[in-house]
Structure 1
């Protein structure tokens, strides 16, 4: 079995990996034990059938259930599909299965903890190696020579091929810009409410790093509110939106941008949000997480070219009027 090719692949910086412009985030309610595994499998199968080859997860995601679930779902596929057709990324360093009420998570980037986490990820995912191993939410002052030496030994053991960071911190991004050869990949938050991330994206891309965009839909705050029968997943994502400080910041700045996105007729709002991000030449892929195959199919049908210069300028102007959400 081989995966169907999408209309294009993009090169992920110096890694040389060829990734689909939209990757599937195997996290959130998708990985939660309360979400049926069969339904999660249908979302994954739909993504793969549409040519998605980039799968992103994390050791602590979904109460530590996302990795084992993804491993179980991938096992029959990898029995017949060449492993090199997939780009699988996971993360380590976070000890809690979800953020607390204050939005904080306990982290441990000690060599022993990172080694144990990386080895556990491979067991959970039933893989011999990860294409990308990311440090989850590490601060610039936590990047030590001891940690980097440990990561190099893990790479030499063949546990992962490329090293990355997943961060929402401007300080960490500044550190990466000053030290662009230490890590190969960065997954950062970039969306219409955080357009000021564009400068970091360009700087890191030009230095050879592969740049992935997360929170492209600003944790759902860019989408119009639609009346419908609530699902358990809706309640889970709503609770996250209210409890996480980063999500509340996006929520407060979203109303005018949400109206501007909805007014663009060339595509659906979710597609417009992805088109904006994918038009940045430094972005290799945007990551989407969902429990609905219809939502996934809509986003996978995004055509960045349909967001014309005039509409893009309008979205930039809405952010520039001072009501955007400056990235921290």
Structure 2
């Protein structure tokens, strides 16, 4: 697979988001299935693995550590602090002492001496970003972390943080149906030399084409609370998906590969991190880095999905209040 710059690292142009293996979309897969998927991704050339203290309240880091620690020199390891499980509840806490303790716990679970890229998972509105990033910078000086990142923040917050310590990567949702980074963050990342890591590049499974019926999502599937997956909005969005799948068929490629190729074409500093629990879906990612999209194809895709054609906001009001990103 081709590579792209991620701060001081060279990483595969497509990384793997590990969240799905422990968190968010209902029951996680059996342990042996998750282990096979991680090792298959590594063997196929993926060299960026993204996890977080929050995912499965530590169980995802434990999984990644157990499976990939023997291969630690072969990949870039990214994790996140600042949002974690406390007494069974998700808590945003950007206080320096909390971030230091979270990093120590992550190092233990990941079975490593150093985390290559540590993100602030969410900005804590009660703590100045300068204080949180300053504490994370101390972790770099201590040799526990190699580079810093931010997740779900605005261009203005990125600039404030970057003034404290270089920010190697900014991670936010970006796909054909979520275009908010195009407001300001993508350009700011270019100016600062910050990589843009696109999470949910397949629109939480939507652009993969397999999710046709949202009525039977599992009880703990977070998409149940996302407006775009409500029955009325999803019925509209499925019409967009059908047109998108025709574009993929014309290129003789899976829809997921086309979605990733579109993202990669938006800038050399963009690295998508799709996630999956299935090896057959994983295989659909490969080839996106070499799929060249013509100007007419890009124009049709951009006209098909954008803020005025997709039904529903990406988050409900309560979740939107927790993040700092620009919104259309």
Mapped partners of 1:250, 1:188: distance in 2:
23
- Compute the displacement of 1:118 (Å): 0.5
- Compute the displacement of 1:237 (Å): 9.0
Q: Secondary structure at the match of 2:33?
A: helix
The counterpart of 2:147, out of the listed 162, 168, 183, is 162
The counterpart of 1:120, out of the listed 81, 105, 112, is 105
Matches within 5 A, 1:167-246: 167=152, 169=153, 172-177=154-159, 180-181=162-163, 182=165, 183-198=167-182, 199-225=184-210, 235-236=217-218, 239-244=221-226
- Compute the displacement of 1:59 (Å): 0.6
- Compute the displacement of 1:166 (Å): 1.4
- Compute the displacement of 1:236 (Å): 4.4
Tell me the residue number matched to 1:16. 8
CA contact (8 A) 1:19 1:284 kept: no
Matches within 5 A, 1:66-145: 66-78=60-72, 83=73, 85-96=74-85, 105-138=90-123, 142-145=127-130
Matches within 5 A, 1:248-287: 251=234, 254-264=237-247, 265-266=250-251, 267-287=253-273
Tell me the residue number matched to 2:18. 26
TM-score by length of 1: 0.82
Residues 214-240 of structure 1 show CA distances to partners (whole Å, capped at 9, x for unaligned) of 110111122334689x9xxx9449832
Structure 1 gaps of 5+ residues are 1-5
Residues 293-312 of structure 1 show CA distances to partners (whole Å, capped at 9, x for unaligned) of 11101112324534221111
Mapped partners of 1:9, 1:201: distance in 2:
19
Alignment of 1:293 with 2:279, yes or no, is: yes
Q: Classify 1:39/1:274 alpha carbon distance in 2 versus 1 (closer, same or farther; 3 Å).
A: same
CA contact (8 A) 1:154 1:160 kept: yes
Residues 113-149 of structure 1 show CA distances to partners (whole Å, capped at 9, x for unaligned) of 1111011000000000011000012157733443333
CA contact (8 A) 1:276 1:304 kept: no
Aligned residues: 304
Mapped partners of 2:282, 2:107: distance in 1:
27
Q: Secondary structure at the match of 1:184?
A: strand
Structure 2 gaps of 5+ residues are 314-325
Q: Secondary structure at the match of 2:177?
A: coil
Q: Secondary structure at the match of 1:187?
A: strand
The counterpart of 2:29, out of the listed 10, 35, 44, is 35
CA contact (8 A) 2:129 2:161 kept: no
CA contact (8 A) 1:253 1:323 kept: no
TM-score by length of 2: 0.82
